[in-house]
A and B are shown apart, each in its own frame.
Chain A
Amino acid sequence: MATHAGGLTASRAVRVHNLARGFGDRVVLDGFDLEIAPGEFVALLGRSGSGKSTLLRALAGLDGDAAGSGLVDVPENSSVVFQDARLLPWQRVLDNVLLGLRGPDATERGRAALAEVGLAGRERAWPNELSGGEQQRVALARALVSEPELLLADEPFGALDALTRLRMHALLRVLHARHRPTVLLVTHDVDEAITLADRVLLLDSGRIAVDLAIDLPAPRSYRQPQFLAYRETLLRALGVDETEG
Protein backbone atom coordinates (compact mmCIF):
# COMPACT_ATOMS: atom_id res chain seq x y z
CA MET A 1 0.00 0.00 0.00
CA ALA A 2 1.02 3.57 -0.58
CA THR A 3 2.08 5.62 2.40
CA HIS A 4 0.08 8.79 2.70
CA ALA A 5 2.55 10.82 4.72
CA GLY A 6 1.37 14.25 5.79
CA GLY A 7 3.39 17.43 5.94
CA LEU A 8 6.74 15.88 5.09
CA THR A 9 7.76 18.56 2.66
CA ALA A 10 6.04 21.84 3.22
CA SER A 11 7.32 23.47 0.05
CA ARG A 12 5.87 20.77 -2.22
CA ALA A 13 2.16 20.48 -2.76
CA VAL A 14 2.51 17.06 -4.34
CA ARG A 15 5.32 14.62 -3.84
CA VAL A 16 5.27 11.15 -5.31
CA HIS A 17 8.25 8.89 -4.81
CA ASN A 18 8.98 5.48 -6.26
CA LEU A 19 5.32 4.83 -6.99
CA ALA A 20 4.38 1.47 -8.48
CA ARG A 21 0.93 0.48 -9.67
CA GLY A 22 -0.28 -2.51 -11.59
CA PHE A 23 -3.26 -4.68 -12.33
CA GLY A 24 -2.57 -8.40 -12.18
CA ASP A 25 0.58 -9.00 -14.20
CA ARG A 26 0.34 -5.69 -15.98
CA VAL A 27 2.71 -3.08 -14.57
CA VAL A 28 1.36 0.39 -15.28
CA LEU A 29 3.58 2.63 -13.17
CA ASP A 30 7.01 1.67 -11.88
CA GLY A 31 9.51 3.75 -9.98
CA PHE A 32 7.48 6.83 -10.70
CA ASP A 33 8.57 10.18 -9.20
CA LEU A 34 6.75 13.49 -9.36
CA GLU A 35 6.88 16.81 -7.58
CA ILE A 36 4.51 19.70 -8.06
CA ALA A 37 4.92 23.11 -6.43
CA PRO A 38 1.98 24.76 -4.64
CA GLY A 39 -0.24 26.62 -7.07
CA GLU A 40 1.47 25.11 -10.08
CA PHE A 41 -0.67 24.04 -13.03
CA VAL A 42 0.62 20.78 -14.47
CA ALA A 43 -0.81 19.02 -17.50
CA LEU A 44 -0.21 15.32 -17.97
CA LEU A 45 -0.13 13.94 -21.50
CA GLY A 46 0.30 10.39 -22.61
CA ARG A 47 -0.92 7.79 -24.98
CA SER A 48 -4.15 5.98 -24.23
CA GLY A 49 -3.42 3.27 -21.70
CA SER A 50 -0.17 4.86 -20.57
CA GLY A 51 -1.43 5.09 -16.99
CA LYS A 52 -2.54 8.72 -16.64
CA SER A 53 -5.81 7.85 -14.94
CA THR A 54 -4.02 5.28 -12.81
CA LEU A 55 -1.64 7.98 -11.55
CA LEU A 56 -4.45 10.43 -10.92
CA ARG A 57 -6.48 7.87 -9.02
CA ALA A 58 -3.43 7.04 -6.92
CA LEU A 59 -3.08 10.72 -6.02
CA ALA A 60 -6.78 10.95 -5.23
CA GLY A 61 -6.63 7.84 -3.05
CA LEU A 62 -9.28 6.19 -5.21
CA ASP A 63 -7.32 3.13 -6.26
CA GLY A 64 -8.24 0.63 -3.60
CA ASP A 65 -8.33 -2.17 -6.17
CA ALA A 66 -4.86 -1.56 -7.63
CA ALA A 67 -1.77 -3.28 -6.29
CA GLY A 68 1.19 -1.05 -5.61
CA SER A 69 3.65 0.66 -3.36
CA GLY A 70 5.43 3.97 -2.97
CA LEU A 71 5.12 7.31 -1.27
CA VAL A 72 2.22 9.63 -2.11
CA ASP A 73 2.23 12.94 -0.30
CA VAL A 74 -0.68 15.16 -1.30
CA PRO A 75 -2.66 17.86 0.50
CA GLU A 76 -5.48 16.55 2.62
CA ASN A 77 -7.86 18.92 0.91
CA SER A 78 -8.01 17.79 -2.71
CA SER A 79 -10.83 17.59 -5.25
CA VAL A 80 -11.39 15.45 -8.30
CA VAL A 81 -13.10 16.34 -11.57
CA PHE A 82 -13.97 13.30 -13.64
CA GLN A 83 -14.32 12.99 -17.39
CA ASP A 84 -18.06 12.62 -17.00
CA ALA A 85 -19.57 15.38 -14.88
CA ARG A 86 -20.74 12.71 -12.46
CA LEU A 87 -23.60 14.70 -11.00
CA LEU A 88 -26.10 12.79 -8.91
CA PRO A 89 -29.20 12.77 -11.14
CA TRP A 90 -31.53 12.75 -8.14
CA GLN A 91 -30.13 15.90 -6.60
CA ARG A 92 -30.71 19.38 -7.90
CA VAL A 93 -27.73 21.34 -9.17
CA LEU A 94 -27.13 23.26 -5.95
CA ASP A 95 -27.37 20.10 -3.83
CA ASN A 96 -24.83 18.47 -6.09
CA VAL A 97 -22.43 21.34 -5.44
CA LEU A 98 -23.09 21.13 -1.69
CA LEU A 99 -22.37 17.41 -1.57
CA GLY A 100 -19.88 16.77 1.21
CA LEU A 101 -19.67 20.47 2.08
CA ARG A 102 -20.10 21.30 5.73
CA GLY A 103 -20.42 24.49 7.71
CA PRO A 104 -23.09 27.09 8.40
CA ASP A 105 -22.42 29.12 5.26
CA ALA A 106 -22.31 26.07 2.96
CA THR A 107 -25.36 27.11 0.94
CA GLU A 108 -24.00 30.59 0.37
CA ARG A 109 -20.67 29.20 -0.76
CA GLY A 110 -22.44 26.79 -3.09
CA ARG A 111 -24.40 29.59 -4.69
CA ALA A 112 -21.26 31.66 -5.06
CA ALA A 113 -19.42 28.74 -6.68
CA LEU A 114 -22.26 28.27 -9.16
CA ALA A 115 -22.27 31.97 -9.96
CA GLU A 116 -18.52 31.75 -10.55
CA VAL A 117 -18.98 29.19 -13.29
CA GLY A 118 -21.78 31.25 -14.84
CA LEU A 119 -24.69 29.16 -13.61
CA ALA A 120 -26.38 31.56 -11.21
CA GLY A 121 -30.12 31.00 -11.40
CA ARG A 122 -29.84 27.31 -12.31
CA GLU A 123 -29.57 26.12 -8.70
CA ARG A 124 -32.93 24.33 -8.77
CA ALA A 125 -32.43 22.60 -12.13
CA TRP A 126 -32.02 18.83 -12.41
CA PRO A 127 -28.66 17.74 -13.82
CA ASN A 128 -30.24 16.11 -16.88
CA GLU A 129 -31.82 19.43 -17.78
CA LEU A 130 -28.34 20.89 -18.35
CA SER A 131 -26.14 20.67 -21.43
CA GLY A 132 -22.93 18.69 -21.27
CA GLY A 133 -20.85 21.84 -20.86
CA GLU A 134 -23.11 23.16 -18.12
CA GLN A 135 -22.93 19.85 -16.29
CA GLN A 136 -19.15 19.95 -16.41
CA ARG A 137 -19.26 23.51 -15.05
CA VAL A 138 -21.34 22.28 -12.13
CA ALA A 139 -18.72 19.58 -11.55
CA LEU A 140 -16.05 22.27 -11.57
CA ALA A 141 -18.03 24.34 -9.08
CA ARG A 142 -18.42 21.29 -6.84
CA ALA A 143 -14.68 20.62 -7.00
CA LEU A 144 -13.74 24.22 -6.20
CA VAL A 145 -16.35 25.09 -3.58
CA SER A 146 -14.30 23.37 -0.86
CA GLU A 147 -11.33 25.60 -1.74
CA PRO A 148 -9.05 22.62 -2.44
CA GLU A 149 -5.30 22.93 -2.33
CA LEU A 150 -5.07 20.32 -5.06
CA LEU A 151 -7.36 19.89 -8.04
CA LEU A 152 -7.10 16.59 -9.88
CA ALA A 153 -8.87 16.51 -13.24
CA ASP A 154 -9.05 13.51 -15.55
CA GLU A 155 -9.83 14.70 -19.08
CA PRO A 156 -12.57 16.96 -17.76
CA PHE A 157 -13.28 18.46 -21.16
CA GLY A 158 -12.85 15.30 -23.22
CA ALA A 159 -16.55 14.88 -23.92
CA LEU A 160 -17.19 18.51 -24.88
CA ASP A 161 -17.29 20.06 -28.33
CA ALA A 162 -14.39 22.24 -29.45
CA LEU A 163 -16.12 25.57 -28.87
CA THR A 164 -17.37 24.68 -25.38
CA ARG A 165 -13.92 23.35 -24.59
CA LEU A 166 -12.34 26.72 -25.43
CA ARG A 167 -14.81 28.45 -23.10
CA MET A 168 -14.01 25.95 -20.36
CA HIS A 169 -10.29 26.64 -20.84
CA ALA A 170 -10.86 30.34 -20.31
CA LEU A 171 -13.01 29.61 -17.26
CA LEU A 172 -10.45 27.25 -15.75
CA ARG A 173 -7.69 29.85 -16.27
CA VAL A 174 -9.74 32.49 -14.47
CA LEU A 175 -10.60 30.14 -11.61
CA HIS A 176 -7.00 29.02 -11.26
CA ALA A 177 -5.77 32.61 -11.17
CA ARG A 178 -8.34 33.45 -8.49
CA HIS A 179 -8.05 30.44 -6.18
CA ARG A 180 -4.51 29.27 -6.99
CA PRO A 181 -5.00 25.57 -6.33
CA THR A 182 -2.30 23.19 -7.43
CA VAL A 183 -3.67 21.50 -10.55
CA LEU A 184 -2.92 18.19 -12.20
CA LEU A 185 -4.85 18.03 -15.44
CA VAL A 186 -4.86 14.81 -17.44
CA THR A 187 -5.55 15.40 -21.11
CA HIS A 188 -5.20 13.91 -24.57
CA ASP A 189 -5.06 17.31 -26.14
CA VAL A 190 -1.59 18.78 -26.67
CA ASP A 191 -2.97 22.25 -27.41
CA GLU A 192 -5.06 22.18 -24.26
CA ALA A 193 -1.99 21.27 -22.24
CA ILE A 194 0.13 24.10 -23.70
CA THR A 195 -2.68 26.64 -23.40
CA LEU A 196 -3.37 25.97 -19.74
CA ALA A 197 -0.35 24.58 -17.97
CA ASP A 198 2.78 25.98 -16.40
CA ARG A 199 4.39 22.63 -17.00
CA VAL A 200 3.56 19.75 -19.29
CA LEU A 201 4.50 16.17 -18.44
CA LEU A 202 4.44 13.29 -20.84
CA LEU A 203 3.90 9.84 -19.41
CA ASP A 204 5.40 6.93 -21.29
CA SER A 205 6.14 3.36 -20.21
CA GLY A 206 5.29 4.17 -16.61
CA ARG A 207 7.72 7.09 -16.31
CA ILE A 208 7.84 10.76 -17.16
CA ALA A 209 9.42 10.94 -20.60
CA VAL A 210 9.16 14.70 -21.09
CA ASP A 211 9.02 17.45 -18.48
CA LEU A 212 8.46 20.72 -20.32
CA ALA A 213 8.06 24.11 -18.61
CA ILE A 214 5.78 26.33 -20.66
CA ASP A 215 6.97 29.89 -20.71
CA LEU A 216 4.51 31.84 -22.81
CA PRO A 217 3.05 35.27 -22.21
CA ALA A 218 -0.73 35.45 -21.84
CA PRO A 219 -2.92 35.30 -23.76
CA ARG A 220 -1.53 32.12 -25.20
CA SER A 221 -2.38 31.40 -28.78
CA TYR A 222 -1.49 29.10 -31.61
CA ARG A 223 0.00 32.07 -33.41
CA GLN A 224 2.91 32.36 -31.00
CA PRO A 225 5.95 30.73 -32.59
CA GLN A 226 7.04 29.32 -29.24
CA PHE A 227 3.60 27.66 -28.89
CA LEU A 228 4.20 25.81 -32.11
CA ALA A 229 7.65 24.78 -30.98
CA TYR A 230 6.27 23.29 -27.76
CA ARG A 231 3.58 21.61 -29.75
CA GLU A 232 6.06 20.00 -32.10
CA THR A 233 8.24 18.77 -29.23
CA LEU A 234 5.31 17.14 -27.49
CA LEU A 235 3.78 15.65 -30.60
CA ARG A 236 7.13 14.16 -31.59
CA ALA A 237 7.52 12.67 -28.14
CA LEU A 238 4.03 11.20 -28.48
CA GLY A 239 5.13 9.63 -31.77
CA VAL A 240 2.95 11.77 -34.00
CA ASP A 241 4.62 13.15 -37.10
CA GLU A 242 2.60 16.03 -38.48
CA THR A 243 4.38 16.04 -41.84
CA GLU A 244 2.90 12.63 -42.60
CA GLY A 245 -0.52 12.39 -44.23
Chain B
Amino acid sequence: MTVSAPTRPRSAAAVPAGRPRRRLKPGRPIPFGAAIGPTLLLAVWAAGSAAGWIDPRTLSAPWTVVTTAGDLIADGRLQDNLAVSAQRAGLGLAIGTAVGTVLAVLAGLSRWGEAILDGPVQIKRAIPALALLPLLVLWFGIGEQMKVVTITLGVFVPVYIHTHHGLRTIDSRYVELGESLRLRRTAFIRRIVLPGALPGFLLGMRFAVVGAWLSLVVVEQINSTSGIGYMMELAREYGQTDVIIVGLVLYGLLGLLSDGAVRLAQRKALSWRRTLAD
Protein backbone atom coordinates (compact mmCIF):
# COMPACT_ATOMS: atom_id res chain seq x y z
CA MET B 1 0.00 0.00 0.00
CA THR B 2 1.21 3.49 -0.79
CA VAL B 3 0.50 6.58 1.19
CA SER B 4 1.41 9.08 -1.51
CA ALA B 5 -1.01 11.81 -2.54
CA PRO B 6 -3.93 10.59 -4.65
CA THR B 7 -3.39 11.05 -8.37
CA ARG B 8 -6.75 12.71 -8.87
CA PRO B 9 -7.19 15.37 -6.19
CA ARG B 10 -10.75 15.68 -4.99
CA SER B 11 -12.34 18.74 -3.51
CA ALA B 12 -12.80 18.08 0.17
CA ALA B 13 -15.80 20.37 0.39
CA ALA B 14 -17.70 18.84 -2.51
CA VAL B 15 -17.18 15.25 -1.41
CA PRO B 16 -16.91 15.36 2.37
CA ALA B 17 -16.74 11.67 3.08
CA GLY B 18 -16.86 9.90 -0.23
CA ARG B 19 -20.11 8.64 -1.71
CA PRO B 20 -22.86 8.49 0.93
CA ARG B 21 -23.75 4.98 2.04
CA ARG B 22 -27.01 3.50 0.94
CA ARG B 23 -29.35 3.77 3.94
CA LEU B 24 -31.00 0.46 4.70
CA LYS B 25 -33.21 1.78 7.49
CA PRO B 26 -36.63 3.13 6.44
CA GLY B 27 -35.53 6.69 7.27
CA ARG B 28 -36.76 9.41 9.57
CA PRO B 29 -40.32 8.94 10.92
CA ILE B 30 -42.94 11.31 9.42
CA PRO B 31 -44.46 13.57 12.09
CA PHE B 32 -48.01 12.38 12.92
CA GLY B 33 -47.57 9.86 10.11
CA ALA B 34 -50.07 7.47 11.65
CA ALA B 35 -52.84 10.09 11.43
CA ILE B 36 -52.54 10.77 7.70
CA GLY B 37 -54.44 7.73 6.41
CA PRO B 38 -57.44 8.01 8.79
CA THR B 39 -57.70 11.77 8.15
CA LEU B 40 -57.90 11.17 4.40
CA LEU B 41 -60.63 8.58 4.93
CA LEU B 42 -62.59 11.02 7.10
CA ALA B 43 -62.24 13.74 4.47
CA VAL B 44 -63.67 11.48 1.75
CA TRP B 45 -66.58 10.52 4.01
CA ALA B 46 -67.38 14.15 4.90
CA ALA B 47 -67.11 15.29 1.29
CA GLY B 48 -69.34 12.43 0.14
CA SER B 49 -72.04 13.24 2.72
CA ALA B 50 -71.92 16.98 2.04
CA ALA B 51 -72.20 16.50 -1.71
CA GLY B 52 -75.09 14.10 -1.25
CA TRP B 53 -73.31 11.11 -2.82
CA ILE B 54 -73.84 9.07 0.31
CA ASP B 55 -77.42 8.25 1.30
CA PRO B 56 -77.80 8.99 5.07
CA ARG B 57 -79.77 5.72 5.41
CA THR B 58 -76.66 3.85 4.22
CA LEU B 59 -74.14 5.90 6.11
CA SER B 60 -74.91 8.89 8.31
CA ALA B 61 -72.86 12.05 7.84
CA PRO B 62 -69.94 12.59 10.21
CA TRP B 63 -71.64 15.56 11.90
CA THR B 64 -74.82 13.51 12.50
CA VAL B 65 -72.68 10.89 14.16
CA VAL B 66 -71.05 13.53 16.34
CA THR B 67 -74.40 14.98 17.49
CA THR B 68 -75.78 11.49 18.11
CA ALA B 69 -72.71 10.71 20.19
CA GLY B 70 -73.38 13.92 22.12
CA ASP B 71 -76.99 12.89 22.77
CA LEU B 72 -75.94 9.40 23.82
CA ILE B 73 -73.46 10.86 26.26
CA ALA B 74 -76.00 13.40 27.53
CA ASP B 75 -78.55 10.72 28.48
CA GLY B 76 -75.80 8.47 29.89
CA ARG B 77 -76.44 5.49 27.60
CA LEU B 78 -72.96 5.61 26.06
CA GLN B 79 -71.12 5.66 29.37
CA ASP B 80 -73.22 2.88 30.88
CA ASN B 81 -72.79 0.57 27.93
CA LEU B 82 -69.13 1.42 27.60
CA ALA B 83 -68.53 0.67 31.28
CA VAL B 84 -70.19 -2.73 30.96
CA SER B 85 -68.21 -3.56 27.81
CA ALA B 86 -64.92 -2.35 29.25
CA GLN B 87 -65.45 -4.44 32.35
CA ARG B 88 -66.07 -7.57 30.30
CA ALA B 89 -63.09 -6.98 28.06
CA GLY B 90 -60.83 -6.04 30.96
CA LEU B 91 -61.77 -9.08 32.99
CA GLY B 92 -61.35 -11.44 30.05
CA LEU B 93 -58.06 -9.80 29.13
CA ALA B 94 -56.69 -10.06 32.65
CA ILE B 95 -57.65 -13.70 33.12
CA GLY B 96 -56.59 -14.66 29.60
CA THR B 97 -53.21 -12.96 29.94
CA ALA B 98 -52.50 -14.65 33.25
CA VAL B 99 -53.57 -18.07 31.96
CA GLY B 100 -51.63 -17.68 28.71
CA THR B 101 -48.45 -16.57 30.48
CA VAL B 102 -48.52 -19.30 33.10
CA LEU B 103 -49.20 -22.01 30.51
CA ALA B 104 -46.42 -20.64 28.27
CA VAL B 105 -43.89 -20.72 31.12
CA LEU B 106 -44.94 -24.24 32.11
CA ALA B 107 -44.74 -25.47 28.52
CA GLY B 108 -41.52 -23.59 27.83
CA LEU B 109 -39.57 -24.77 30.85
CA SER B 110 -40.51 -28.40 31.06
CA ARG B 111 -40.78 -31.09 28.43
CA TRP B 112 -43.73 -32.60 30.27
CA GLY B 113 -45.45 -29.25 30.39
CA GLU B 114 -45.02 -28.89 26.67
CA ALA B 115 -46.17 -32.44 25.95
CA ILE B 116 -49.34 -31.94 27.94
CA LEU B 117 -50.21 -28.31 27.19
CA ASP B 118 -49.00 -27.42 23.74
CA GLY B 119 -51.26 -29.80 21.80
CA PRO B 120 -54.55 -28.65 23.33
CA VAL B 121 -53.65 -24.98 22.87
CA GLN B 122 -52.80 -25.57 19.22
CA ILE B 123 -56.14 -27.36 18.78
CA LYS B 124 -57.96 -24.46 20.45
CA ARG B 125 -56.11 -22.10 18.13
CA ALA B 126 -57.45 -23.95 15.12
CA ILE B 127 -61.08 -23.57 16.27
CA PRO B 128 -62.61 -20.13 15.62
CA ALA B 129 -64.00 -18.43 18.71
CA LEU B 130 -67.44 -18.19 17.10
CA ALA B 131 -67.63 -21.93 16.58
CA LEU B 132 -67.17 -22.54 20.29
CA LEU B 133 -69.96 -20.18 21.24
CA PRO B 134 -72.89 -22.66 21.11
CA LEU B 135 -71.05 -24.97 23.49
CA LEU B 136 -70.10 -22.12 25.80
CA VAL B 137 -73.71 -20.92 25.90
CA LEU B 138 -74.82 -24.45 26.85
CA TRP B 139 -72.19 -24.65 29.58
CA PHE B 140 -72.29 -21.16 31.02
CA GLY B 141 -75.66 -19.81 29.96
CA ILE B 142 -76.05 -16.41 28.36
CA GLY B 143 -74.94 -14.34 31.34
CA GLU B 144 -71.71 -12.54 32.13
CA GLN B 145 -69.82 -15.77 32.80
CA MET B 146 -70.17 -16.97 29.21
CA LYS B 147 -69.05 -13.59 27.90
CA VAL B 148 -65.93 -13.40 30.05
CA VAL B 149 -65.02 -17.02 29.30
CA THR B 150 -65.32 -16.40 25.56
CA ILE B 151 -63.08 -13.33 25.76
CA THR B 152 -60.60 -15.19 27.95
CA LEU B 153 -60.41 -18.01 25.40
CA GLY B 154 -59.74 -15.49 22.64
CA VAL B 155 -57.04 -13.74 24.65
CA PHE B 156 -54.98 -16.55 26.12
CA VAL B 157 -54.10 -18.15 22.80
CA PRO B 158 -52.01 -15.30 21.30
CA VAL B 159 -50.44 -14.62 24.71
CA TYR B 160 -49.50 -18.27 25.00
CA ILE B 161 -48.23 -18.64 21.44
CA HIS B 162 -45.98 -15.57 21.45
CA THR B 163 -44.74 -15.93 25.03
CA HIS B 164 -43.96 -19.58 24.41
CA HIS B 165 -42.10 -18.72 21.23
CA GLY B 166 -40.21 -15.94 23.02
CA LEU B 167 -39.23 -18.36 25.74
CA ARG B 168 -38.10 -21.05 23.36
CA THR B 169 -35.91 -18.65 21.39
CA ILE B 170 -33.99 -17.31 24.40
CA ASP B 171 -30.33 -17.65 23.51
CA SER B 172 -28.96 -20.86 25.04
CA ARG B 173 -25.81 -18.93 25.92
CA TYR B 174 -27.82 -17.07 28.57
CA VAL B 175 -29.06 -20.37 29.96
CA GLU B 176 -25.45 -21.53 30.13
CA LEU B 177 -24.57 -18.31 31.91
CA GLY B 178 -27.28 -19.00 34.46
CA GLU B 179 -25.88 -22.49 34.99
CA SER B 180 -22.34 -21.18 35.39
CA LEU B 181 -23.55 -18.70 38.01
CA ARG B 182 -25.49 -21.48 39.76
CA LEU B 183 -28.70 -19.45 39.60
CA ARG B 184 -31.62 -20.89 41.49
CA ARG B 185 -34.67 -21.73 39.43
CA THR B 186 -36.67 -18.76 40.70
CA ALA B 187 -33.81 -16.36 39.98
CA PHE B 188 -33.33 -17.97 36.57
CA ILE B 189 -37.00 -17.44 35.72
CA ARG B 190 -37.07 -13.90 37.08
CA ARG B 191 -33.79 -12.63 35.60
CA ILE B 192 -33.41 -14.59 32.38
CA VAL B 193 -36.59 -16.39 31.31
CA LEU B 194 -39.22 -13.71 31.85
CA PRO B 195 -37.21 -10.73 30.54
CA GLY B 196 -36.03 -12.85 27.63
CA ALA B 197 -39.60 -13.78 26.76
CA LEU B 198 -40.90 -10.23 27.30
CA PRO B 199 -40.65 -9.13 23.64
CA GLY B 200 -42.70 -12.17 22.64
CA PHE B 201 -45.16 -11.63 25.47
CA LEU B 202 -45.75 -8.00 24.51
CA LEU B 203 -46.27 -8.93 20.88
CA GLY B 204 -48.82 -11.49 22.08
CA MET B 205 -50.47 -8.76 24.15
CA ARG B 206 -50.93 -6.63 21.06
CA PHE B 207 -52.86 -9.43 19.42
CA ALA B 208 -54.64 -10.16 22.69
CA VAL B 209 -56.09 -6.67 23.27
CA VAL B 210 -57.43 -6.53 19.73
CA GLY B 211 -58.74 -10.07 20.18
CA ALA B 212 -60.49 -9.09 23.41
CA TRP B 213 -62.51 -6.36 21.70
CA LEU B 214 -63.21 -8.70 18.82
CA SER B 215 -64.62 -11.40 21.07
CA LEU B 216 -66.57 -8.70 22.86
CA VAL B 217 -68.41 -7.80 19.67
CA VAL B 218 -69.33 -11.41 19.12
CA VAL B 219 -70.70 -12.00 22.61
CA GLU B 220 -72.48 -8.65 22.90
CA GLN B 221 -74.42 -9.01 19.70
CA ILE B 222 -75.84 -12.35 20.82
CA ASN B 223 -78.40 -12.43 23.61
CA SER B 224 -77.12 -9.37 25.37
CA THR B 225 -78.97 -6.64 27.22
CA SER B 226 -76.13 -4.24 27.79
CA GLY B 227 -72.83 -3.13 26.28
CA ILE B 228 -71.78 -1.35 23.11
CA GLY B 229 -72.61 -4.37 20.99
CA TYR B 230 -76.15 -4.43 22.40
CA MET B 231 -76.51 -0.70 21.72
CA MET B 232 -75.54 -1.31 18.09
CA GLU B 233 -77.81 -4.36 17.77
CA LEU B 234 -80.72 -2.26 19.01
CA ALA B 235 -79.88 0.53 16.57
CA ARG B 236 -79.91 -1.98 13.71
CA GLU B 237 -83.52 -2.88 14.54
CA TYR B 238 -84.52 0.80 14.34
CA GLY B 239 -82.31 1.51 11.31
CA GLN B 240 -80.18 4.10 13.15
CA THR B 241 -76.93 4.06 11.19
CA ASP B 242 -75.61 6.98 13.23
CA VAL B 243 -75.74 4.97 16.47
CA ILE B 244 -74.15 1.98 14.73
CA ILE B 245 -71.32 4.22 13.57
CA VAL B 246 -70.87 5.67 17.05
CA GLY B 247 -70.45 2.07 18.24
CA LEU B 248 -68.01 1.27 15.46
CA VAL B 249 -65.94 4.36 16.16
CA LEU B 250 -65.96 3.46 19.84
CA TYR B 251 -64.75 -0.07 19.13
CA GLY B 252 -62.06 1.35 16.86
CA LEU B 253 -60.96 3.91 19.43
CA LEU B 254 -60.85 1.29 22.18
CA GLY B 255 -58.81 -1.01 19.98
CA LEU B 256 -56.41 1.76 19.01
CA LEU B 257 -56.08 3.05 22.55
CA SER B 258 -55.38 -0.34 24.03
CA ASP B 259 -52.94 -1.20 21.24
CA GLY B 260 -51.24 2.15 21.84
CA ALA B 261 -51.01 1.39 25.54
CA VAL B 262 -49.33 -1.94 24.83
CA ARG B 263 -46.94 -0.28 22.36
CA LEU B 264 -46.05 2.30 24.97
CA ALA B 265 -45.40 -0.49 27.45
CA GLN B 266 -43.32 -2.19 24.78
CA ARG B 267 -41.19 0.88 24.25
CA LYS B 268 -40.72 1.39 27.98
CA ALA B 269 -40.00 -2.22 28.82
CA LEU B 270 -37.75 -2.90 25.84
CA SER B 271 -35.73 0.29 25.95
CA TRP B 272 -32.58 -1.81 26.06
CA ARG B 273 -33.23 -3.03 22.55
CA ARG B 274 -31.93 -1.38 19.42
CA THR B 275 -33.95 -2.41 16.42
CA LEU B 276 -34.52 -1.45 12.81
CA ALA B 277 -37.45 0.75 13.77
CA ASP B 278 -35.45 2.98 16.16
Contacts and interface: CB of A to CB of B under 8 A. Distances in A.
Nearest to B187: A100
Contacts of B196: 90
Interface string A182-204: 00000000000000000000000
B191 A99 contact: yes
A86 B272 contact: no
Nearest to B192: A88
Contacts of B192: 88
B54 to A, nearest CB: 51
Contacts of A61: 179
B62 interface: no
Contacts of B174: 86, 88
A86 B273 contact: no
Interface string B181-199: 1110001000110011010
B201 to A, nearest CB: 12
A90 B180 contact: no
A233 interface: no
Is chain B's interface secondary structure helix, strand, loop, or mixed overall? helix
Nearest to B269: A90
Is chain A's interface secondary structure helix, strand, loop, or mixed overall? loop
Contacts of B271: 126
Interface residues of B, number: 21
Interface in A100-137: 100, 126-128
Interface stretch (A30-38, A76-84, A208-216): A76-84
Contact of B183 (A79, A86, A99, A142): A99
Contacts of A84: 173
B177 interface: yes
A95 B198 CA distance: 17
Contacts of A86: 173-174, 177
Given A62-B180, A99-B181, A89 B272 contact: yes
Contacts of B272: 89-90, 126-128
30 contacts: A60-B180, A62-B176, A62-B180, A79-B180, A79-B181, A82-B173, A82-B177, A84-B173, A86-B173, A86-B174, A86-B177, A88-B174, A88-B195, A89-B272, A90-B195, A90-B196, A90-B198, A90-B272, A99-B177, A99-B181, A99-B183, A100-B178, A100-B181, A100-B182, A100-B183, A126-B271, A126-B272, A127-B272, A128-B274, A142-B181
